Structures are given as structure tokens and as C-alpha cells.
């Protein structure tokens, strides 16, 4: 199913997301879903992968039946296996008898990582490490992967960079609410309501982690400036760009945005972005002529940021995991 066909669906094709009438608007959908729609806990099995650079990556597994497919989830900014979207998808995967695993980026599993470097929106090297490790654990099983928000940008960028080579590790992929144009997303998050609500909330934990790194690695970071940062542009210049080889936030955002790589993806990939996502202006979203034939764009009018609530009040999160599992099963 291609983006251009969304207005004329056949019964066998996936349904387009429609928000419930009682929850209008991107901000309400994003905030209400994050705070008020509950998802049951998942009993995970923790695995730690020690890396050659002296650091580690933590995987939280929801084990399925022997030989069954594996769903790998890359979480969003400051997300984890405990994020509602992660628990919901892992529950759906296990209900089908599949394996599910949430691959934590460095420093996101509840324990600070060991090196000055952290994680960032274009961390192709760690995407590759994670997928190779999962494939080594399940060499004969299909591997499906989804990246959410920041994790979605990193995954889509890796898929484009790898081209045909990605098919050796992944059979199908998806990106959900990925900030495909990080420059546009960064500027949107640093203005008005977004800055006061979303950015302020993210910076609480990001700055705390950064300040712990500054204390552990004296002389590497400017702790006072980081503590005073109130925008993503400031924080990404002082921390993310500095530690990962970029000149400043603008250089980082421009170089790691996944949108230019969508034309090079060969793995069947679903890219879902709500047009009312507060984090990414709708005018920046790609059109069908800006992506490869393997990429399916779904851009519903509503849904917020990693929200997509469904059903009567108080709502549920069922649409997104069902749509992802449908895509992974080869049905759209």
C-alpha cells in the first residue's frame, strides 16, 4: 500500500488511523496518551552485551516460541523497555508467540554507560551492533524492527545507508513518529508551548545524565553551561554534538536526519507520521517521490507524537501495535 492510495482502501488493505472524537488535537493526543492510558507491565529477561570499546548495551527480552520471528524495538529519546509503546508492542508480539526485544541505547536501561559518548539520533554503528547481535541469537528466524521517534530516525538512516546489505539482517522495518528532518523538529521543540512542556521535560533527565558525565570525565564538558541550557539547540551543541563529532546542534541535526536516506531503503519499510505531531511540522514530511519503492508512507491527519489513541473514553493504544504486527506479517 502506497501513500497515494490512502483515500481508496480495499477491505484487505490496512485501515487508516483515525483519532477518537473525544480526543482532538496533536497536543491533547500526545499528552493524554503519555499520562493517562495505562499499559500492563511486561516480565522481561535482561541481557547485557559487552562491547569491544569497553561499554555495554542492555537488551530486555520478551521471549516467544522457539524458531518464531523476532521483533526488535529501538526506543525514543529517554525511552526504555518500560515506555508504554514498548510494553504494548512486546505484549502483542508475545501474544502471537513471537520473540520481542527492546534494545536500549547507551545509558537508557537504568544504568549510566561507561564512556563519555552517549546515544544520538544518527547512531548507525549501534543500530548495526544491536541488529547483528539479535540475528546471531536467532540466525534462522525472521527479524522485524521498529524505531520510535529518535530511534526511528536512527533506524531509517541506517536502513538507507546500508541499502541492500540491510536485508541480511532485517526482513521488514518500520519508523513511528520519527523526526525525519531533525532541523525542523529541533526548531519546533524550542519554541512556545513545545519548549515549555516537551523540551523542559526531556531536558530534566538529559541534563542530569550529562552532568553525571561531566563529573566523571573532568574537562570534557561545560557543566555550568549544560545546567543552564533551556533549549535542545543549546543542549545538543554543548553535549550531543560535542561528544559525537559534530560542530554544533545545527551540524548534528543536518547530518543525521533520515529524510534524505529514505530513497535508498530496500527493506520493506512502513513510515508512520501523524500530520498533527507537535514535534515535526507536517510540511517537512516526505512525499511519495522522495522515498524508495520499498517505503510505505502513512501520514494520518491526527495521532500526535507516538500516541495514536483509539476507542471510547478512556481509550487504548491498540491501533499502533496492531498496525505494526500487520506490516511485519506482510499485510501492508
The model's pLDDT over 67-123, given as tens digits with 9 standing for 90+, comes to 999 999 999 999 999 999 999 999 999 999 999 999 999 999 999 999 999 999 999
Cα(first)–Cα(last) distance of the chain, in Å?
A: 6
Q: What is the mean pLDDT of the chain?
A: 95
Quick count: other Cβ atoms within 10 Å of Cβ 267? 23
Predicted confidence (pLDDT) per residue in 264-305, tens digit:
999 999 999 999 999 999 999 999 999 999 999 999 999 999
* pLDDT for res 268: 98
Task: Answer yes or no: are the C-beta atoms of 87 and 39 closer than 8 Å.
Answer: yes
b (16+ CB within 10 A) / e for 255-265: ebbbbebbebb
User: Catalytic pick from 277, 302, 310, 327?
Assistant: 277
Taking residues 159-188, what's their average pLDDT? 98
Distance separating alpha carbons of residues 217 and 211, to the nearest angstrom: 10
User: Catalytic pick from 83, 149, 177, 258?
Assistant: 149
166's torsion region: left (phi>0), alpha (psi -120 to 50) or beta?
alpha
CATH of 3-180+258-328 among 3.40.50.10420, 1.10.10.10, 3.40.920.10, 3.40.50.1820: 3.40.50.1820
Res 11 pLDDT > 90: no
DSSP 4: G
Name the nearest CA neighbour of 49 among 120, 133, 107, 157.
Answer: 133
The reply to whether 277 belongs to the active site is yes
* pLDDT for res 16: 85
Higher pLDDT, residue 3 or 282: 282
Distance separating alpha carbons of residues 190 and 172, to the nearest angstrom: 34
Distance separating alpha carbons of residues 74 and 296, to the nearest angstrom: 19
Element containing residue 131 per DSSP (H, E)? helix 124-137
Res 12 pLDDT > 90: no
Parts of the chain belonging to CATH 3.40.50.1820: 3-180+258-328
Residue 49's beta-bridge partner residues? 57
Quote the cell numbers at residue 86.
514498548
Task: Answer yes or no: are the C-beta atoms of 272 and 305 closer than 8 Å.
Answer: no
User: Catalytic pick from 99, 104, 305, 327?
Assistant: 305
The reply to whether 112 belongs to the active site is no
pTM: 0.95
DSSP 108: -
Distance separating alpha carbons of residues 258 and 9, to the nearest angstrom: 28
Q: How confident is the model at residue 332 (pLDDT cuts 50, 70, 90)?
A: low
Amino acid at each position: 500500500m502506497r501513500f497515494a492510495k490512502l483515500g481508496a482502501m480495499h477491505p484487505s488493505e490496512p485501515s487508516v488511523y483515525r483519532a477518537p472524537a473525544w480526543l482532538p488535537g496533536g497536543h491533547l493526543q500526545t499528552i493524554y496518551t503519555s499520562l493517562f492510558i495505562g499499559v500492563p507491565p511486561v516480565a522481561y529477561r535482561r541481557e547485557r552485551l559487552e562491547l569491544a570499546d569497553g561499554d555495554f548495551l542492555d537488551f530486555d527480552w520478551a521471549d516467544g516460541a522457539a524458531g518464531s520471528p523476532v521483533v526488535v524495538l529501538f526506543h525514543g529519546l529517554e525511552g526504555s523497555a518500560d515506555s508504554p509503546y514498548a510494553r504494548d508492542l512486546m505484549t502483542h508480539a508475545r501474544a502471537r508467540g513471537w520473540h520481542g526485544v527492546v534494545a536500549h541505547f547507551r545509558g537508557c536501561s537504568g544504568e549510566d554507560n561507561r564512556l563519555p559518548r552517549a546515544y544520538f539520533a544518527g547512531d548507525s554503528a549501534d543500530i548495526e551492533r544491536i541488529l547483528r547481535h539479535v540475528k546471531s541469537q536467532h540466525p534462522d528466524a525472521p527479524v522485524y524492527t521498529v524505531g520510535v521517534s529518535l530511534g526511528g530516525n536512527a533506524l531509517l538512516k541506517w536502513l538507507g545507508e546500508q541499502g541492500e546489505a540491510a536485508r541480511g539482517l532485517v526482513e521488514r522495518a518500520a519508523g513511528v513518529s520519527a523526526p525525519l528532518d531533525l532541523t525542523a523538529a529541533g526548531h519546533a521543540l524550542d519554541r512556545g508551548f513545545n519548549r515549555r512542556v516537551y523540551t523542559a521535560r526531556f531536558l530534566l533527565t538529559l541534563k542530569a545524565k550529562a552532568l553525571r558525565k561531566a563529573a566523571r570525565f573532568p574537562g570534557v564538558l561545560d557543566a555550568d553551561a549544560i545546567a543552564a541550557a533551556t533549549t535542545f539547540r543549546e543542549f545538543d551543541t554543548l553535549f550531543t554534538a560535542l561528544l559525537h563529532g559534530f560542530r554544533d546542534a545545527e551540524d548534528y541535526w543536518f547530518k543525521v536526519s533520515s529524510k534524505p536516506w529514505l530513497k535508498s531503503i530496500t527493506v520493506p519499510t512502513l513510515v508512520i507520521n501523524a500530520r498533527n505531531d507537535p514535534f515535526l511540522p507536517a510540511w517537512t514530511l516526505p512525499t511519495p517521490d522522495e522515498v524508495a519503492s520499498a517505503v510505505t508512507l502513512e501520514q494520518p491527519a491526527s495521532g500526535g507524537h507516538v500516541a495514536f489513541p483509539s476507542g471510547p473514553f478512556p481509550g487504548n493504544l491498540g491501533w499502533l501495535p496492531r498496525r505494526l504486527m500487520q506490516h511485519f506479517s506482510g499485510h501492508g
